[in-house]
Amino acid sequence: MGRGKIEIKRIENTTNRQVTFCKRRNGLLKKAYELSVLCEAEVALIVFSSRGRLYEYSNNSVKKTIERYKKASTDSPNSGSVSEANVQQEASKLRNQIASLQNHNRNLLGESLSNLNIRELKQIEKKIEGGISKIRAKKNELLFAEIEYMQKREIDLQTDNKYLRAMIAANERAPEHMNLMPANEYHVMSSAPFDSRNFMPANLLDHNNNYCRSDQTTLQLG
């Protein structure tokens, strides 16, 4: 059997009214959540019980949604003129922000300080000191890195210097070692005049020569 049709009117029984309120409230919050997720709609739900308790749901912010509602309700008659006014308002906000940033930069440089009170001057002083501390920390970090690099470079140069000194000393000891060697080991032949009669071709002295002495033909002189 299906559910019977419920007459929409105030429930007189207090207990039944409270139970129905809790059930319908939870169902309404669930539907609002599903609508916001499934359809990417901006939903804001506000419920006050008969006792004055507040129940609300919003996927963005109830306050922002209400402000958007007020803006949409006031913009509907003249959408074109209101849109242009919004653009001008946003441009005015941006100009004010730019002017404020420029003035703040001048204050950090020590300019345009006449309109500032003691509290504002202390805040600027604190920001400047914080910036100087960070700058000094970065500078010291770079200096320490440079010192470490130079120390390693110094060690490498000292090692190369020792190696070169050892090579020079070894080259200087080489001639002294040659002078201490026996004279017959490095005797140089005297440059006597060359005479071809003093030399015989090496192939004639080879025992494997095809022409042995026993087979040589006697040269007959006529």
Residue 200 lies in a domain: no
Q: What is the pLDDT of residue 211?
A: 44
Phi-psi region of 125 (alpha: psi -120 to 50; beta: other; left: phi over 0): alpha
Residue 187 pLDDT > 80: no
Q: Write the DSSP symbol of residue 115.
A: T
> Could you tell me the pLDDT band of residue 209, with boundaries at 50, 70 and 90?
very low
Residue 7 lies in a domain: no
Residue 213 lies in a domain: no
The first and second tokens of residue 199, run together, are 């030399």
Q: What is the pLDDT of residues 26-85, one digit of tens each?
A: 999 999 999 999 998 999 999 998 888 999 999 888 888 888 888 887 766 555 555 677
- Rounded to an integer, what distance in angstroms lies between the CA atom of residue 27 and that of residue 45? 12
Q: What is the pLDDT of residue 178?
A: 61
The first and second tokens of residue 206, run together, are 């080879």
Residue 167 lies in a domain: yes
Judgement on whether residues 19 and 71 belong to the same structural domain of the protein: yes
List % helix, strand, coil for the chain (3-state, nearest 5). Answer: 65, 5, 30
CA distances from 70 to 56, 64, 86 (A): 19, 10, 14
- Find out whether 33 and 25 touch, Cβ atoms under 8 Å: no
Phi-psi region of 61 (alpha: psi -120 to 50; beta: other; left: phi over 0): beta
Residue 212 pLDDT > 50: no
Residue 195 pLDDT > 60: no
Q: Among residues 136, 155, 171, which one ends one of the domains?
A: 171
Q: What is the pLDDT of residue 141?
A: 93
Query: How high does pLDDT run on average in the chain?
Result: 78
Residue 44 lies in a domain: yes
Residue 155 pLDDT > 90: yes
> Could you tell me the pLDDT band of residue 191, with boundaries at 50, 70 and 90?
very low
Neighbours of 20 (CB within 10 A): 13
Residue 198 lies in a domain: no
Q: What is the pLDDT of residue 176?
A: 66
Q: What is the pLDDT of residue 93?
A: 87
Q: Averaged over 123-129, what is the pLDDT?
A: 89
Residue 1 lies in a domain: no
The fraction of the chain above a pLDDT of 70, given in percent, is 73
- Find out whether 26 and 34 touch, Cβ atoms under 8 Å: no
Q: What is the pLDDT of residue 216?
A: 45
Residue 194 lies in a domain: no
Split into its structural domains, the chain has a count of 2
- Rounded to an integer, what distance in angstroms lies between the CA atom of residue 25 and that of residue 31? 10
CA distances from 12 to 9, 18, 20, 115 (A): 9, 10, 12, 67
Residues whose CB falls within 8 Å of the CB of residue 17, separated by 6 or more in sequence, listed in order: 10, 11, 50
The CATH number of whichever domain residue 42 belongs to comes to: 3.40.1810.10
Domain assignment of residue 58, given as a range: 14-75
Q: What is the pLDDT of residue 182?
A: 55
Q: What is the pLDDT of residue 127?
A: 87
Q: What is the pLDDT of residue 44?
A: 92
Q: How far is CA 101 from the centre of its chain?
A: 28
Q: What is the pLDDT of residue 160?
A: 93
pLDDT top residue among 197 and 90: 90
